[in-house]
Amino acid sequence: MIGTARRLAAALGLALALAPAAAQTPEAGRPVAPPVRADPEATTANFGDWTMRCRRLVAGQPTRRICEVAQSIQTPGAQGPIAQIAIGRVGPADPLRVTVVLPPNVSFPSAPRVATDEKDPQPVELPWRRCVPGGCFADAAIDEATLRRWRALSGRGSITFLDSSGHSIPVPMSFRGLDAALDALAKS
């Protein structure tokens, strides 16, 4: 009988946990979910090979959005991206930063580079910031001269890094649509 009561209590607890938030009332000791706003929490827009992603920040007043333009790079047959590159800023007055996320199979010390082609005289080097099981992050502020150069391109570039064996690994990326994506980012 005690086993049956415990199973019933566990089932009831599971049912309450899975109940829609709207059905949970303060009287039941559960918080009521905030109302759904009319404007979206997150939006995306595609510009060639780049996507602008925006998310509403709810912690501060007044409500503001944080946006970035990004590209996920996949190889045929892969289940997820092998690399990602993004350009954005945290605050409205902060400088634009370029960030890359690469597999956690990297060499230290090293720095990944973003180049317009094999002969790029000014590749952008990004210092490593952290590695987590899902990937390693590198980023740096990006200057206006580099952005102007990248905006004028529509072909392929590369992100190059050293793997844990010390081999240079080039990951192809595209500049197609970056100019329009950065224009949209500036307006957001």
Claim to verify: residue 121 and residue 29 sit in the same structural domain: no
pLDDT, one tens digit per residue, over 131-180 is 999 999 999 999 999 999 999 999 999 999 999 999 999 999 999 999 99
pLDDT, one tens digit per residue, over 25-77 is 555 667 777 677 777 788 999 999 999 999 988 665 567 789 999 999 998 88
How confident is the model at residue 64, as a pLDDT?
A: 78
pLDDT, one tens digit per residue, over 80-130 is 899 999 999 988 889 999 999 999 989 888 999 999 988 899 999 999 999
Claim to verify: residue 22 and residue 109 sit in the same structural domain: no
Claim to verify: residue 74 and residue 104 sit in the same structural domain: yes
How confident is the model at residue 62, as a pLDDT?
A: 64
How confident is the model at residue 26, as a pLDDT?
A: 54
Claim to verify: residue 83 and residue 148 sit in the same structural domain: yes
Q: How many domains is the chain partitioned into structurally? A: 2
CA distances from 43 to 51, 55, 58, 122 (A): 10, 7, 15, 33
How confident is the model at residue 57, as a pLDDT?
A: 81
Confidence check: pLDDT of 4 > 50? no
Confidence check: pLDDT of 79 > 60? yes
Claim to verify: residue 2 and residue 71 sit in the same structural domain: no
Claim to verify: residue 20 and residue 100 sit in the same structural domain: no
Claim to verify: residue 156 and residue 66 sit in the same structural domain: yes
Claim to verify: residue 82 and residue 163 sit in the same structural domain: yes
Residue partners of 113: CB distance under 8 A and separation at least 6 = 123, 124, 125, 126, 159, 160, 161
How confident is the model at residue 54, as a pLDDT?
A: 93
CATH number of the domain bearing residue 78: 2.60.40.1880
Claim to verify: residue 159 and residue 88 sit in the same structural domain: yes
- In this structure, what is the dihedral angle of CA atoms 43, 45, 51, 52, given to the nearest 10 degrees? -60
Claim to verify: residue 58 and residue 113 sit in the same structural domain: yes
- Enclosing domain of residue 64: 42-187
Claim to verify: residue 21 and residue 49 sit in the same structural domain: no
Claim to verify: residue 26 and residue 103 sit in the same structural domain: no
